[in-house]
Structure 1
Amino acid sequence: MSSFAIRHAAIFTVDPRDRVVPAGTLVVQDGIITQIGDDREVNIPEGCEVIDARGHALLPGLIDCHSHSSLMRGVTENMPLMEWLPWYQLEHRAMTEEFAYHSARLCYLEALQSGTTCVMDMFRFMDRCADAAAELGLRVQLAPYVADKPGKDFFSTREENRRLIHSHHETRNGRIRVWMGLEHLFYCTGDAYREAAQLSREYGVGIHTHCSEQKEEEQAVTAELGRRSLAMLDHYGILGERTLLAHCVWLNDDEIARVADTGTSIAHCPVSNAKLASGVARVPEMLAAGVTVGLGTDGPVCNNSLNMFEEMKFASLIQKAARLDATTMPADQILRMATINGARALGLDGEIGSLEVGKKADLLLLNLSRANMTPVSVNEEGGNLLWNLVFSAGSTNVAGVWVDGVRLIDNGEAVQVSQRSVIAAAQFQGLALQEACRTLSHTRTTMV
C-alpha cells in the first residue's frame, strides 16, 4: 500500500484536545496515520507522495450512524411516520437482491461524495450491500432488517443475520462488519431480541434497532406491550455498550439516565425526525448525561439526502430554534458528533473518528477556496473555519476522501467505480422498483 503526505492543510484532528493545526502535515503509511503536526515539525519519509493541500482543510471522514439504503427518494412524501410506514413497507415487499445492490451502490456513492467514510446501513439482502461497499471502498456496518412477527415476513430473517455474520463480518480488512439488526418492537418477537443479545455476546457484534421515534408510536407501544419502548428493550436485555438505538426522540429523564447507565449509544437523525414530524430529540440532555450520541441521515427514503453536512447544520439549528437558545449545540460539539462520537457509537473509536497517530487513514479533504467558505481565518482554536465547517461547508467542497489510506474521491469524482454507470443503473432500477411498489399499493398493511 502506498505512502503519502498531505501538506500545508488546516488540520482539525478532533482528538481528545480538539487540536487544530493551522498549517499542518499528515503522513499515511500502509493505511495508518504515522505522523501529524505543524509543517515545520513533520519529517516526510523519502519517496513518499506529497499532496499540496494549501487552501484546504483536513478532518476525519464523517460517520453516518443510521441509514437505510434505498432507491425510493421523493416517493413517500408529506406523511407523518405512522402513515408513512405502510407505504415504506411496500419497498421491502417488492425488494430483490438486484434492487438491494443498486440501492446500496447509489447510496454509498452519494455518501462518499459528501465526505462520509463510514455508514451504518440497515437494509435487506446485505450480502449484496457488502458487494457494493467492496466496489466503492466505503467502510460499512451492516445490520439486516430483521422482523419475525406474523405478517412481517417480507423483511430479513434471524437466520439471514446469523449467516451474514459468518460470511461477511470483519471482511475487506475489517471495513465490512455485521451487526444484529432488529426492525422494531412491533415487528420482532421477544425471542428475536433475546437471541440478538445472546449472539451479540457470542460473536462480539453490535445490536442496532429503532426506539421511541414518534409520540404516537410510543403511545401505541405502551398500549400494546404494557411498557414504554426503552423499558421493553431493557426487559429483553439488549441495552448495553454494544447497542446503538436510532432516534430516541421521546425519551424522558429516567430513560436518558438508563441509556447512560447501560452505556447504550444513540444515533440522532434530526432531518428525518423533522421531515416525518417526529419531534426534536433531547440531545443536550443526552450529552449532559454522558450518552454517546452520533448523527445519522436515516437514508434517502425519509431524508432525501445522505449529506452529513446538512445533518450537522440542522442538528445544531433545530435545538437553537426549539429552545430559543443560540448558544446550544456549538460547532465543536456538532463536529465531534459527526466524527469521533459516531465512531464511539459504532465501537470504532480506537480505529477511526479522529486524526491521531496509529489510527486508520479515513480522511476528508475540503476545498476552502469556494465562495461558500470565503473568507477563511484559522488558528489553534479553529477560527471562523471551525464554524464554517458545520454551517457553510457542503459536498461541493469535497476535494478528497480516503478510507484505509486509499483515495476513493478525487475532486468530487469516484475513483474506484464509474459513477456515471452507477447512476444510470440506479435510474433504471429505481423506476422499476417504484413500479413494483405501485402494483402492491392496494395491499399495504398498518405498522401494528
Structure 2
Amino acid sequence: MAEPSGAVTVYRAAWVMPMNGAPIANGAVAVAGDRITFVGSAAGAPPGLVVDLGDAALMPGLVNVHTHLELTPLRHLLEGLDFAQWIRTLTTLRRTALSDTTDLQVGARIGIAEGLLRGITTFADTSDTAAPVQSALQSMGARGIVYKEVFGPDPLQCDTSLALLREAVRELRHGASDAVRVGVSPHAPYSVSKALFGAVAGFAIGEQLPMAVHLAESAFEEELVTRGTGPYADNWRSRDIDPAGARARSSVALLHDAGALRARPLIIHAVRVDADDIALLAAAGCAVAHCPVSNARFGHGIAPVQAMLDAGLAVGIGTDSVASNNRMDLLDEARVAHLMACTQTQSWRAFPASRALWHCTTGGAQALRLWPKLGTLDVGAPADLCAFPLDGLAALPLADVSDALVHGIAGSAARLTVASGVVKVRDGTLIERTQHTDDRARLRVIGDRLLAARRRLAD
C-alpha cells in the first residue's frame, strides 16, 4: 500500500530527471500518498522519511506504448519464421495451448513484473482476451490502457464482430479504473475489413474510447493493400474473401478512406509510410507507437521517426510483445531507436539519447494522451517513478546522464520503481515476491506445454 496521505517520503538521488526541465544534481522528489509533492534540490526538500538512492538517476516511470502481455509465455518459441509464418504459428499456439484464463493472467503478470523491474509503470496493451491483462494490471498495481482487439477480414462479419466488441467492452468497463482504462483495437489491415475499421472508429468515438491499430508494419501488409497479392491475400482467397476490398494507395490511405482516422488512433509501427501518409496522420491528430527492436527482428525496416516529429506527430516507444523481441526493456528500445535513426538519416545528430529517453516518458504519455497527468515529475502528478544506478562501470565516467541511461545501462534492473506511490521494486528486486515465485513456477509448466505444441507443429 501507499504511505498514508499525510506521510511524506523523500527520494534523494545524485540526479533527478524531471523531463520537463534540466536535470537536477543532488535532487529529490517527495511523495505523499499517491502524489508528488516536491521536485527540486535535495537541500530544499520537505521533512519526511528519506530514501537515499545514492548515485542514481531518478525520473518519471517509463511509459511502454505497445505490449502484448498475454503473449509473454511464447517468448523464444517463434524464432526463425518470417512474419506471415510467425503470425500463423502464434495464432495456432495461442488457440491450442494458451487459452486458459489463469495461464493468460500468469503470462501477463510475468510481463508486468519484468516491466516493473525495468522501470516501466504504464503499459499500453493490445489483447485478444483483454480481461486477463486488465486483471493482471490491477493486481500488480501498474497503470495502463487495455485495447480490446477485434478481428474480421470478411465485410460480412462486420456487424457480428462489432456486436462482440461492444459486449466485451461492456464487461471490461466493470473492471476499469482511473489507472487501468479500456480501449479498442481493430487489429490490422490483414485481419480487419475496411467496413469494420470504419465501424469500430465510430464506436470508439461514440463511447469516448482510445483506439489503436497495427499499421504499415510489413511488406506483406503493403502487398495486400496496394496490390491484392502476397501471403495475406492468398489466405483471404482461401477463405473466399476478395482482397480487392482492402485495396488503397497505402495502409494509412485505407484507414483514411474507411473513416477510421477520425478516431485519432494510436498507430502501431508505421514503418512503411511516406510523406503523404505522415501528412494524413498528422492532420487527423494521430500518434505513433515506435517499436524499433520488433521491427528490426522481422526485417520490416525503420520507421521515419524524425519525419513524423517534424510533422507534429506524438511518438512514444514500445517494446511490442516479448514473443517478437524477447525483452521488456524500454531503455534498450531507446538505444536501438537512436542507433536506427542515425543509420536511417546518416547523421549522428538524429534522435539523440536525451530525445529517445524523453519519448520513453513524456513522449509516451503524450502518444497515449495521458500527458500532462503522466510523463513528467511535477507537483500534484501521480507518483510514478523509477531510478537507475549510475555507479556501474558502463556508466562511468559520467559525462552525460541521458547517454549513460540509454547507451550505458540499458538492460540493468531499476534501483527503484514506484507506481501510484507504492514501491514495486527496490534495489533491483520485486517487493511482491510470493506471487512472482508462484507465477514463475506456473510459467515453466505453461512453457513446457507450449514447447511440446510447437514441436508438434514443426513435425
- 1:399 is aligned to 415
What SS class does the counterpart of residue 43 from structure 1 fall into?
coil
**How many residues in Structure 1 have an aligned counterpart in Structure 2?**
429
Which of residues 210, 214, 226 is equivalent to 2:247? 226
The residue aligned with 2:449 is 432
Contact 1:270 1:314 in 2 (8 A): yes
Please list the CA deviations of residues 340-375 of structure 1 after superposition, one character each: whole Å capped at 9, or x if unmatched.
111111111121111111211110011222222222
Report the alpha carbon displacement of residue 216 of structure 1 after superposing the two structures with TM: 3.3
**Structure-2 change in CA distance of 1:8 and 1:410 (3 Å):** closer
Partner of 1:372 in structure 2? 394
Question: How many Å separate the matches in 1 of 2:176 and 2:149?
Answer: 22
Distance across 1 between alignment mates of 2:45 and 2:174? 33
Counterpart of 2:67?
A: 67
Please give the residue correspondences for 1:20-419 in structure 2 after superposition, counting only pairs within 5 Å.
Answer: 20-44=23-47, 48-69=48-69, 70=71, 71-94=73-96, 95-96=98-99, 97-149=101-153, 158-159=162-163, 161-169=165-173, 173-224=177-228, 225-227=246-248, 228-240=250-262, 242-377=264-399, 384-418=400-434, 419=436
CA distance in 1, matches of 2:346, 2:44: 45
Residues 1:164 and 1:140: Cα distance change in structure 2 (over 3 Å): farther
Deviation at 1:23, TM superposition (A): 1.2
1:214 deviates by: 1.5
1:445 is matched with which residue? none
Q: State how far apart, in whole Å, the 1-side matches of 2:257 and 2:184 are.
A: 17
Equivalent residue, structure 2, for 1:13? 18
Distance (whole Å) between structure 2 residues aligned to residue 274 and residue 186 of structure 1: 20
How far the C-alpha of 1:172 sits from its partner, in A, is: 6.5
Superimposed CA distance per residue, residues 142-173 of structure 1 (whole angstroms, 9 cap, x where no aligned partner): 112321235999xx954554344334449565
1:431 partner amino acid: D
Residue 234 (structure 2) aligns with? none
Give the Cα separation in 1 of the matches to 2:445 and 2:271: 36
Structure 1 residues 61, 157: CA separation in 2 closer, same or farther (over 3 Å shift)? farther
Q: Secondary structure of 1:306's match?
A: coil
Question: 2:414 corresponds to which letter in structure 1?
Answer: V
**Does the CA-based 8 Å contact 2:204-2:210 persist in structure 1?**
yes
- What TM-score do you get using the length of structure 1 for normalisation? 0.90
Q: Which moved more, 1:432-441 or 1:241-250?
A: 432-441
CA distance in 1, matches of 2:259, 2:379: 37
SS of the counterpart of 1:140? strand
1:438 offset after TM fit, Å?
A: 4.9
Note the C-alpha offset of 1:253.
0.5
Equivalent residues of 2:211, 2:263 under 8 A apart: no
More helix by share: 2
* Distance (whole Å) between structure 1 residues aligned to residue 330 and residue 183 of structure 2: 22
Which TM-score applies when normalising by structure 2?
A: 0.88
Is the contact between residue 368 and residue 397 of structure 1 (CA under 8 Å) also seen in structure 2?
A: no
Contact 1:61 1:363 in 2 (8 A): yes
CA contact (8 A) 1:257 1:289 kept: yes
Using the TM superposition, give the Cα deviation of residue 111 of structure 1 relative to its aligned residue in structure 2, in angstroms: 1.0
Structure 1 residue 195: Cα displacement: 2.7
Contact 1:370–1:397 (Cα < 8 Å) also in 2: no
What SS does the aligned partner of 1:85 have? helix
Q: Structure 1 residues 158, 101: CA separation in 2 closer, same or farther (over 3 Å shift)? A: farther
The one-letter amino acid paired with 1:226 is R
CA–CA distance in structure 1, aligned partners of residues 456 and 155 of structure 2: 19
AA aligned to 1:52 is: D
CA contact (8 A) 2:294 2:325 kept: yes
Change (3 A) 1:304 1:414: same
Moved more, 398-407 or 189-198: 189-198
Residue type of the alignment partner of 2:452:
E
What is the alpha-carbon distance in structure 2 between the residues aligned to residue 114 and residue 376 of structure 1?
21
- Taking a change above 3 Å as real, the CA distance of residues 151 and 171 of structure 1, as seen in their structure-2 partners, is same
* Rounded Cα–Cα distance in structure 1 between residues aligned with 2:413 and 2:340: 24
Aligned partners of 2:89 and 2:204: how far apart in 1? 31
Match of residue 423, structure 1, among 412, 420, 440 = 440
Q: 1:441 to 1:98 in 2, by over 3 A?
A: farther
Q: Which runs of 5+ in 1 are unaligned?
A: 378-383, 443-448
Alpha-carbon separation, structure 2, partners of 1:355 and 1:41: 16
Amino acid at match of 2:373: E
Report SS of the residue matched to 2:145: strand
Q: 2: CA distance between counterparts of 1:43 and 1:101?
A: 40
1:176-204 alpha-carbon deviations (Å, 9 max, x no partner)? 11111121122123343223212222221
Closer/same/farther in 2, CA of residues 173 and 68 from structure 1, 3 Å limit: closer
Measured in 1, the distance between the counterparts of 2:161 and 2:444 equals 29
